Structure formats: structure tokens, C-alpha cells
């Protein structure tokens, strides 16, 4: 990787690095996409597919899989506790960072992102395959889920608001203003109220990515989050979107690329906050 001034450059690997480690038993490539059918059209050789809906979320409760379920997910994909897991996917690695965030909830040590994701790998004309790999089952010992380290819950967010601490709303400007309840072009559903959490700053998540889906340099990122919005590394920051997936991208940027030590992802996000009774909302479009 070229030096872009990141606080933790080791969490990003290049497409060249991945190409050199396609058959490395200590490395497991994981593709995770918004489009759950995309993997079947072709993927990086030896990459396994982790479906954000089916694999990472509980089937009944609005929550993530349990420690036992996470251990099973890893074991059947040949991922042991000391495996280097490299995530990549579509949409500027949006869902790859979401999958990584869930792995970090369970304390998996060595998680990385392939900078540029599917888009860069494909643009470089690298090999894609429809073959689904199979790996020998391994043992995985799960850690307790670290819900209060990198994850924020509604009561914590309410305390955060009352304390005047910074929040980053990573949704589109139309969602932030209350004009839309969902991403542009998507069905407008999921919340009874539009707008944003009181005091939140709006930085759409994709601003952190270049056109080729690689991450912007640390200087460019600081110009956005610090120069435009006034964030500081010493801040305790909560990021949110609609269901916590886009904000995982911003969590990754602030935590690993800029080195902010206290960043939490509020996965309840607007589908929860926009339906809560009595919480502070700002809605410029209703004015």
C-alpha cells in the first residue's frame, strides 16, 4: 500500500497483496455485498461469501448473531482465531466494512479491508471465478460480544446528545433534512419521522472514498471530518445511518484511518430513532 498517512495502514491491503495471497492458508478472503446475488456472478478466487442478511443478523430479533452462531460461521468457512480475514465487496466496500465491524464485535484480531473492493479488482482485469471454495472445518473459540465498546444503543445515544457530544449522520443530505426516510431511489419506509438526531453533523459516508473505490488519504479525510465538521481525535463520536451499515464505513474511517480512539456505531440508527417517542429530532424540511 502507498503511504496515505493513515493511523493504522496495516488494516488495508492492496489488490496486489490479495493476488499474492490467494492460496495462503492463513488468509481467508470474505466477500460481502449490498447485492446478495453479486457473488454468484463471479468473485475473487478462494473468497467465501458472507451474506449480511442471512449470516450476520439474527433471524428473529433485530440483533446480531450470538457468540455460538459466530463461532459456527467462522468454523464452517475455515476461519480460526488466528486467521487473517480480508473483507471486500461492492459499493466502495460499504458492506465489507459492515462485516468487519461485526467481526470486531466478537473481537476477531486480524481483520483487514482490500482497498478498492470488487470495483478495483475488476477494473484491473484480475481473475474472477464462479467456483465456490470449500475449506476444512476448523475450531473457533468466540469472545464475548463487545456490545459496549464499538456499538452504541439508544440510551447511550440519548446520553451522548444530552452531553453535547458529536454525532455523525452519514446518510444522504435528503435523509438528513427529513425530505426522505430512506436512501434516494429506495422505498420511503422504515420510520415514522424524518430528520436527524439533534446536534448531528451530516457527512455522507461515500465522501470518504475515491472514484476507484479506494479510501481517500488521511489529509483529505481530515479536511472533511475535522476541517468542515470540527471533529477532533479526542472526541467520543457516534456514527449512524438508517440501519447501521453505511455508518460502519465511517466507523472504519474514523477509527482505523484517522486513529480516533473512541468511535461507536449506532446500528439502531434512524429506523429506531425515527420511531421512538419523545427523543430529540431536528427536521429542517418540516419548518
C-alpha–C-alpha distance, residues 224 and 230, integer Å: 9
In the structure grid, which three cell numbers stand for residue 188, read together?
A: 420511503
User: Which residues lie closer than 8 Å to 247 by C-beta, 6 or more apart?
Assistant: 168, 170, 205, 239, 240, 241, 265, 266, 267, 269
User: Which residues lie closer than 8 Å to 237 by C-beta, 6 or more apart?
Assistant: 165, 166, 167, 168, 231, 254, 260, 262, 263, 264
- Options 241, 254, 257, 263, the catalytic residue: 241
Catalytic-residue membership of 241: yes
C-alpha–C-alpha distance, residues 175 and 36, integer Å: 24
C-alpha–C-alpha distance, residues 113 and 1, integer Å: 12
- CA angle (78 as vertex; 74, 81 as ends), nearest 5: 60
Half-sphere exposure of 174 (CA within 13 A, CB side): 9
C-alpha–C-alpha distance, residues 57 and 77, integer Å: 17
Catalytic residues: 241
Amino acid at each position: 500500500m502507498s503511504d496515505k498517512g493513515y493511523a493504522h495502514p496495516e488494516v488495508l491491503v492492496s489488490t496486489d497483496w490479495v493476488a499474492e495471497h490467494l492460496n495462503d492458508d492463513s488468509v481467508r478472503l470474505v466477500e460481502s455485498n449490498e447485492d446478495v446475488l453479486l457473488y454468484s456472478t463471479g468473485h475473487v478466487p478462494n473468497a467465501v461469501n458472507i451474506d449480511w442478511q442471512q449470516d450476520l443478523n439474527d433471524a428473529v430479533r433485530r440483533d446480531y448473531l450470538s457468540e455460538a452462531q459466530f463461532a459456527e460461521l467462522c468454523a464452517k468457512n475455515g476461519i480460526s482465531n488466528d486467521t487473517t480475514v480480508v473483507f471486500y465487496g461492492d459499493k466502495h466496500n460499504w458492506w465489507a466494512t459492515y462485516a468487519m465491524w461485526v467481526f470486531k464485535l466478537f473481537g476477531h484480531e486480524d481483520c483487514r479491508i482490500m482497498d478498492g473492493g470488487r470495483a478495483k479488482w475488476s477494473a484491473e482485469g484480475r481473475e474472477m471465478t464462479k467456483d465456490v471454495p470449500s475449506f476444512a472445518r476448523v475450531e473457533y473459540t468466540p469472545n464475548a460480544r463487545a456490545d459496549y465498546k464499538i456499538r452504541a444503543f439508544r440510551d447511550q445515544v440519548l446520553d451522548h446528545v444530552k452531553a453535547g457530544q458529536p454525532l455523525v449522520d452519514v446518510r444522504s443530505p435528503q435523509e438528513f433534512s427529513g425530505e426522505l426516510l430512506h436512501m434516494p431511489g429506495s422505498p420511503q419506509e422504515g420510520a415514522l419521522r424524518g430528520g436527524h438526531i439533534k446536534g448531528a453533523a451530516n457527512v455522507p459516508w461515500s465522501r470518504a472514498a475515491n472514484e476507484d473505490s479506494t479510501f481517500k488519504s488521511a489529509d483529505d479525510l481530515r479536511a472533511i471530518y475535522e476541517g468542515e465538521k470540527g471533529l477532533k481525535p479526542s472526541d467520543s463520536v457516534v456514527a449512524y445511518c438508517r440501519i447501521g451499515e453505511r455508518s460502519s464505513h465511517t466507523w472504519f474511517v474514523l477509527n482505523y484511518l484517522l486513529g480516533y480512539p473512541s468511535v461507536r456505531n449506532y446500528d439502531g440508527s434512524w429506523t429506531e430513532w425515527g420511531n421512538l417517542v419523545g427523543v430529540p429530532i431536528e427536521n429542517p424540511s418540516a419548518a
